[in-house]
Structure 1
Amino acid sequence: MSAQPEPALLLSEEEEALRAAVRDLLTDHCDPAGVITRTESAARHDVSLWKALAGSMGLAGLLIPEELGGQGATHREAAVVLEELGRAVAPVPYLTSAVVATEALLACGADDLLGELASATTVAVLAVGLHVAPGGAVRRVRLEGGALHGELTGIADASVADVLLVPADDGGLYAVAAADAAVTGQVSLDSTRPLARVTLDGAAGRRLGDAEPAVRRALRAGAGLLAAEQLGLADWLLTETVRHLKERKQFNRQVGGFQALKHRLSRLWLEVAGLRAAARNAADALATG
């Protein structure tokens, strides 16, 4: 039996260039004060930033094949984007639309919707909570008389979706226009990723394919690339902590020079390094199958 190739945990030159481009855009459009202000307002999502990422840079179609208008890239490039979005805590539906929903649509072969996502004219959201593990139990709505009925809770970014991808009790995954559903906000521990309750009361839906394999594929990719987003945030926190400890003084000394804080920073650095290895290994595994 042949040995498995070692995962490539270092970024290539192309991936470094992508990271620099995304970071530059976020530096100009996503300052920390603005993010905090937005979490305390009714407009949680930054539509202009999403248009710049998805439209101007074409990142919404990163995982979509070129023949459908996408970039035909891999999960490694998507992880680079998500790492920077996590670093900036960017309030955009990238993970939910450009990764999770995209993977579900790829599993179903829904080329028309994939083309709309690639062109950034549509935001799609899988109506399954991100807390559900790949292969875990998924709540489904009822299909009665060709219409969908039921309630789904904890759906991330549903408030900004144009299309909801809904699992039904007949085993199918249905595309439902968000305008045909009642979307009500719920309290979320992460204010930058709003959750919502989705209620369907006789909504029309188009069957895309079998829900089980599509949802499993989508949640697997979502779990793997969510780690990249968390890596970006953890790395930013470490960088800002070091900066603060270099600037803060106590007893006329930089507090970063205190031995106890040095030890805590060393442990934190090791934890972030371990997270970086795990996140990039997950992205590489998704990219290489």
Structure 2
Amino acid sequence: MTRPADSGPVRLTLIESEDEQSIRTVVRKLLTDRCAPGDVAATYDGDDALREPLWRSLAVDLGLAGLLVPEEAGGAGAGAREAGTVLEELGSAVAPVPFLTSAVIATSTLVHLMSVPSADRGAVRDTLAAAASGERVLTLAVPWSTAPDGPSCTVREKPDGLHGEVALVAGAEAGTFLVPALGADGPGLWLVDRTQVHITPVTGLDMTRPPATVRFDGAVARPVVRGQATEDAVRAGLFTGAGLLASEQVGLAQRCLAETVSYLAVRRQFGRVVGGFQAIKHRLADLHIAVEGAHAAARYAAATLADDPADAPVAVAVAASVCGEVAVRAAEECVQLLGGIGMTWEHPAHLRLKRAVADHVALGTPVRHRARLGVLVGIEPDKECL
């Protein structure tokens, strides 16, 4: 969104709007009713019975797959604040749905191309419309660890189609892949149907968002843009994803803190409630401060992505630097302070710890984002961080 030059400073608020509150309410109810921790844990045993019906409820029944899709392409025309609210709830429940990979990252990549004259805007609009309706799940075919400023082309264009392999792709259950590839004329972005690729599942730490190796052997593909616009679009998608991943991490951290406090308020040891011990109080107070700070950083990142693009690079770098580490810390404290029960398969603490650790290295590590933040504010980073 381009603001008029004389529009003055942007006034952002971190307070939820009525629309955001409504979205949170309906998503939380859906997850409470249809995303039980036991069903999430079953995905680690190869039981995918939860994924498709839950995604259909979220994407089709609630219409949230098209949250970031403009109205002219069949979407809701909402913004990053609303998407961040959804991700907080999905992170809290460790929901095994492709909202971040499809409705945020891939969608944002294509939305960027809607304003690029050289792009095949008909193909872009049709793909966005299919994604918004829930008919198609999309994913950007880059390694899940790729930072917004990282390299993205590992596939090559040849006369008979696309060739190459991309490791550790998240959201490989997609029906359509957005594939950055290098051709004779430079980089380009292609749409590739699932039937044209070979997918090898990879056993990862977080099987609610399972990684996969995607191989292209002469894949038939439709180009949507070529040249520098390709890199700009991919970076736009990854940048939005990194900023809103922070919301997912915060939702997870808040849930870990809440469950830890709830348990320690009733668990008794040595004739006293465990939460009454001073050392435990200090740990929980420190964690509460960290989670609240991360929440503010994530909310501000979402707000700038929606309404203040000029400040978004710094806001996203701050959120990505902070929220991943806080989520891991909150999940670790949950497992430790719950004691023996926190180590069991039956308790959902392990699901949140696995998601937190996997997200910690997604879309660029916190160290890399801090290095990027240093560049943005004029501090030369250590080259080993980049």
Q: Shorter-chain-normalised TM-score: which range? A: over 0.9
Alignment partners' CA distance in 2, 1:221 and 1:181: 26
Question: 3-state SS of the aligned residue for 1:134?
Answer: coil
Alignment partners' CA distance in 2, 1:17 and 1:229: 18
| Structure 1 counterpart of 2:280 | 261
Matched, 1:277 2:296: yes
| Structure 1 counterpart of 2:46 | 41
Question: 3-state SS of the aligned residue for 1:83?
Answer: helix
Runs of 5+ consecutive residues of structure 1 not aligned to the other structure: none
Question: 3-state SS of the aligned residue for 1:168?
Answer: strand
Alignment partners' CA distance in 2, 1:133 and 1:79: 19
| Structure 2 counterpart of 1:65 | 70
**Which stretch of the first structure deviates more once superposed, 130-139 or 209-218?**
130-139
Alignment partners' CA distance in 2, 1:273 and 1:15: 19
Alignment partners' CA distance in 1, 2:252 and 2:270: 31
Matched, 1:177 2:227: no
| Structure 2 counterpart of 1:240 | 259
Identify the structure with bigger relative contact order (alpha carbons < 8 Å, sequence gap 6+). Answer: 1
| TM-score, normalised via structure 2 length | 0.72
- Alignment equivalent of 2:102, drawn from 78, 93, 97: 97
For the Cα contact (< 8 Å) 2:104–2:240, is it kept in 1? yes
| Structure 2 counterpart of 1:195 | 211
For the Cα contact (< 8 Å) 1:180–1:200, is it kept in 2? yes
Runs of 5+ consecutive residues of structure 2 not aligned to the other structure: 1-5, 115-123, 310-386
| Structure 2 counterpart of 1:28 | 33
Identity %: 49
| Structure 1 counterpart of 2:92 | 87
Alignment partners' CA distance in 1, 2:38 and 2:263: 17
For the Cα contact (< 8 Å) 1:44–1:91, is it kept in 2? no
Question: 3-state SS of the aligned residue for 1:138?
Answer: coil
Alignment partners' CA distance in 2, 1:48 and 1:286: 30
C-alpha displacement at 1:131, in angstroms?
A: 1.4
Alignment partners' CA distance in 2, 1:246 and 1:40: 33
* Structure 2 CA distance for partners of 1:6 and 1:258, relative to 1, 3 Å: farther
Instruction: Give the number of equivalent residue pairs.
Output: 288
Q: 2:135 is aligned with what amino acid?
A: T
C-alpha displacement at 1:189, in angstroms?
A: 2.2
For the Cα contact (< 8 Å) 2:66–2:103, is it kept in 1? yes
- Alignment equivalent of 2:153, drawn from 134, 139, 148: 139
C-alpha displacement at 1:145, in angstroms?
A: 0.4
C-alpha displacement at 1:108, in angstroms?
A: 2.3
C-alpha displacement at 1:6, in angstroms?
A: 4.4
| Structure 2 counterpart of 1:220 | 239
For the Cα contact (< 8 Å) 1:44–1:194, is it kept in 2? no
C-alpha displacement at 1:252, in angstroms?
A: 1.7
Question: Which digits, 9 at most, give the CA deviation of each residue in 1:46-90, with x for residues without a partner?
Answer: 100000000000000000111221100000000000000000000
Alignment partners' CA distance in 2, 1:82 and 1:253: 37
| Structure 1 counterpart of 2:305 | 286
Question: 3-state SS of the aligned residue for 2:100?
Answer: helix
Q: 1:242 is aligned with what amino acid?
A: V
**Which stretch of the first structure deviates more once superposed, 49-58 or 36-45?**
36-45
C-alpha displacement at 1:146, in angstroms?
A: 4.7
- Alignment equivalent of 1:113, drawn from 102, 109, 127: 127
Question: 3-state SS of the aligned residue for 1:60?
Answer: helix
| Structure 2 counterpart of 1:168 | 181
**Which stretch of the first structure deviates more once superposed, 35-44 or 262-271?**
35-44
| Structure 2 counterpart of 1:123 | 137
C-alpha displacement at 1:130, in angstroms?
A: 2.7
Alignment partners' CA distance in 1, 2:57 and 2:50: 13
Alignment partners' CA distance in 1, 2:249 and 2:154: 29
Alignment partners' CA distance in 2, 1:224 and 1:6: 19
- Once superposed, which parts of structure 1, at least 4 consecutive aligned residues long, lie more than 4 Å away? none
C-alpha displacement at 1:149, in angstroms?
A: 0.4
Alignment partners' CA distance in 1, 2:224 and 2:243: 24
Matched, 1:231 2:231: no
For the Cα contact (< 8 Å) 1:130–1:219, is it kept in 2? no
Alignment partners' CA distance in 1, 2:296 and 2:204: 29
For the Cα contact (< 8 Å) 1:247–1:254, is it kept in 2? yes
Question: Which digits, 9 at most, give the CA deviation of each residue in 1:137-173, with x for residues without a partner?
Answer: 1232111105100000010011x11001111112110
| Structure 2 counterpart of 1:151 | 165
